[in-house]
Amino acid sequence: MAIAKKIDSIRVNNRIHAKTVRLISVDGRQLGIAGIRDALNAAMEEGLDLVEVAPNSDPPVCRIMDYGKFKYEASKREQSTRKKGKSSQLKEIKLRPHTEDHDLGFKIRSIKKFLAKKDKVKVTVVFRGRELTYKDASVELLKRIEEEVIEEGMVEQPPRQEGRNLTMVIVPK
């Protein structure tokens, strides 16, 4: 995003309003202070654009460059940083207070798969009707899940009551 904002603030050729500019060549050498006409002519001789890169300095700094290529490379850099910065997702597993061992085994395997993919897992025990009286059994259920997945992940948020649900968040190691 910062690259895109920087590109938007750069002025190209006909939008430069200063009479004199500090000119920088394609290879980064300073060519000195020149009139705007001379700078535009130098850019045209190279077959490139004159781009104002520092409009607030005195005199403004202009660079001779291929502006289209610059924008293309900036967008590619931004895409690659977005790709590298993959955010982890939050997956949710829902249980009931009296979930049987076999079903719990399946849920634990799913939690381990999610943690292997570097996703956070929110384990939720859902209470219906009078099941809220079995809160202690549900806390034990969540502790058992925590012990089963201790090698793959760790508890970020311990069991916490949220209305009629009891939740716990596990993050990958």
14 with 35, same domain: the answer is yes
80 with 94, same domain: the answer is no
Provide the pairing of β-strand 120-126 with 165-172: antiparallel
DSSP string computed for 46-100: HTSEEEEEETTSSSPEEEEE-HHHHHHHHHHHHHHHHHHSPPPPEEEEEE-TT--
**Nearest to 63, CA basis, from 76, 53, 75:** 53
144 with 80, same domain: the answer is no
The mean pLDDT of 116-123, rounded to a whole number, is 92
Cβ distance 133 to 169 under 8 Å? no
Which residues constitute the domain of residue 10? 2-84
Q: Tell me, what CATH number does 127's domain have?
A: 3.30.110.10
Cβ distance 51 to 11 under 8 Å? yes
- For the chain, how many helices (H) and strands (E)? 5, 9
> Which of 34, 65, 84 is at the close of a domain?
84
φ, ψ of residue 64 to 5 degrees: the values are -90, 120
Question: Would you say the pTM of this structure is higher than 0.85?
Answer: no
Size of the chain, expressed as the number of residues it contains: 173
Cβ distance 33 to 60 under 8 Å? no
Residue 149, pLDDT above cutoff 50: yes
Residue 168, pLDDT above cutoff 80: yes
> Which of 84, 100, 131 is at the close of a domain?
84
For 39-48, the pLDDT digits (tens) are 888 888 888 8
